[in-house]
Amino acid sequence: MSKAIAGFSKLSKQEKINWLANEHFSDPQAAKKLLENYWNTDADVQKLHDEFIENTITNFYLPLGIAPGFIINGREYTIPMAIEESSVVAAASKAAKFWATRGGFKATVLNTEKIGQVHFMYKGDPEKLNAFFKATKKEFFTDTETITKNMQKRGGGILNIELRDKTALIPNYYQLHATFETVDSMGANFINSCLEQFSKTLREEALLYTAFTEDEQQIQVVMSILSNYVPNCVVRAEVSCPVEELNEDKNISPEEFATKFLAAVQIAEVEPYRAVTHNKGIMNGIDAVVVATGNDFRAVEAGVHAYATKEGQYSSLSHAKVADGVFTFWLDVPLALGTVGGLTTLHPLVKLSLEMLGNPTAQELMQVVAVAGLAQNFGALRSLTTTGIQQGHMKMHLMNILNQLEATDDEKQQAIKHFEKNTVSHSAATDFVNNLRTIDPAHVEEDFL
């Protein structure tokens, strides 16, 4: 092990890169050059990026695309999407175009409640603990007033605190279960600060509570942390139109399309193996906008998938029905998002993305993100139940294959024209490019023209 590892975090950025290149790469100079190629040419912007996390050596780029033409609650949006997967942006854009002429998307925030918990151990009489909590509950609010003051001015704060007995699951295990409103911030730091004060108040007040025995006064706080499961911070996105207006594809009648579409959703509702992939498609749209707007996609993913199991089995997040000749497709999804704090005011492209959306409130961003997920799901199900998903996806993926093959611009143009009428696969693209490289260039040009 290199001695340079000792005190690694204290090394300069260049020293870290030198150590990395020399220790882990056969061509250290090539590794250094590659890392430096992805630095921002603006030194101030690069310094900002370097300070987002620890031990930064370079930037890892994702493409930032846009899906224009979304009509949401009567307003037109161009939605930013940061994602590397082929066909996601195209599918969202196509779905936006389809529904723009059929009334657009409707979105409603159902609730914005967020949750945090103090997990603790108490070895004593449960009735005494209940009496203690009732007697001291107001102290939890009083002791956090300095933390909640600014949030309360914006209309947020602590909504409620409950004592929950979890001893049936783990001996001596209890919770302070708190709910919060964090307005336009995601609120993680605010919630965690409140919870840590709760734990301090809990321990201190227990020592002063005369009804407790000496053993009962020794409450052990295990941890204080927010929950990324937010089943009461939910937004609904939906679309609807008469069945006869589902007439875009000439190869299938609107009625047959609706029947197959409903069956596809029903399968995802009852079959977990399908539901996981079905919901992953929804998250293609959701995550892309969450990343572009500087929010925590890992927290969103964890909360969404937990929500998908709320009925006891993993199931579809989206649902569909036909009633009185009207097709309706909707999605309920928990989204704890923010438009202030975190990277929202620091990352230049996050600021640009939020401005692109009209500098939305957190609730407006929830609506946009949910719509992106529904649009993505609609596009995927439409392809699956008609042409099949690979036809469109592989044509979008063709450019990635051609880049892997280091195809020239001329070879790319000829391949794109060829695969307009032929099935795309990695082997087919490889064979086509190899054939181009073994035949007369003049003949290739003649064929292409």
Please list the active-site residues: 85, 280, 296, 393
What is the Cα–Cα distance from 341 to 193, expressed in whole angstroms?
15
Do strands 173-181 and 64-72 pair parallel, antiparallel, or not at all (unpaired)?
unpaired
DSSP, collapsed to helix, strand or coil, labels residue 27 as coil
CB-hemisphere CA count at 13 Å for 23? 11
Q: What are phi and psi of 271, to 5 degrees?
A: -115, 105
- C-alpha to C-alpha distance for 147 and 321, rounded to whole angstroms: 46
Phi-psi region of 357 (alpha: psi -120 to 50; beta: other; left: phi over 0): alpha
Q: What angle do CA 165, 302, 293 make, to 5 degrees?
A: 125
Residue from 266, 245, 147 nearest 195 by CA: 147
Beta-carbon contacts of 373 under 8 Å, excluding residues fewer than 6 positions away, are: 237, 282, 283, 285, 286, 317, 331, 333
Distance between CA 443 and CA 415 in Å, rounded? Answer: 15
Residue 32 C-beta-side C-alpha neighbours within 13 Å: 13
**Degrees (nearest 5) of the Cα angle 66, 72, 76?**
55
**DSSP H helical ranges for 241-340:** 254-270, 272-292, 297-307
Q: Which residues contact 89 (CB under 8 A, 6 or more apart)?
A: 65, 66, 67, 81, 83, 288
